[in-house]
Amino acid sequence: MLGKERIVGAIRGLKLPIPYQEFYPFTHIGIVGVLTAYDRPLQIGFIARRVRSTEAEIQQKLTVLQQAGVIVIEDGMVRLLGE
């Protein structure tokens, strides 16, 4: 069971201090997992295919992560910010 205050990403020990509510639905974790696994800027369409969602759904989830300071989106490319 995931803690309700904070979720810690297990992939490569990545820690994500993001409120639990913002991680619903949990495909946010899938997005961060994809970004962590590839370790380079990725196109939104590529991420959408990897987590099996539409680009519009992914864009919505990416906006939450960007506001939380986890990722940056530049020229349609998504990059994970370091700690």
Is the pLDDT at 15 greater than 90? The verdict is no
Per-residue pLDDT at 3: 42
Residues 30-81: pLDDT tens digits? Answer: 888 888 788 889 999 999 999 888 999 999 889 888 887 888 999 989 998 7
Is the pLDDT at 19 greater than 80? The verdict is no
pTM for the structure as a whole: 0.69
CATH number of the CATH domain containing 42: 1.10.10.10
Q: Which structural domain range is residue 60 located in?
A: 6-80
Distance CA 57, CA 10 (A): 24
Query: At 18, is the pLDDT very low, low, confident or very high (cuts 50, 70, 90)?
Result: low
| Mean pLDDT of all residues in 14-35 | 67
Q: Which residue has the higher pLDDT, 15 or 74?
A: 74
Cβ pair 33, 11 in contact under 8 A: yes
Q: Which two tokens stand for residue 36?
A: 């962590």
Does the residue 59 lie in any domain?
yes
Does the residue 1 lie in any domain?
no
Query: How many domains does the structure of the chain reveal?
Result: 1
Distance CA 75, CA 13 (A): 28
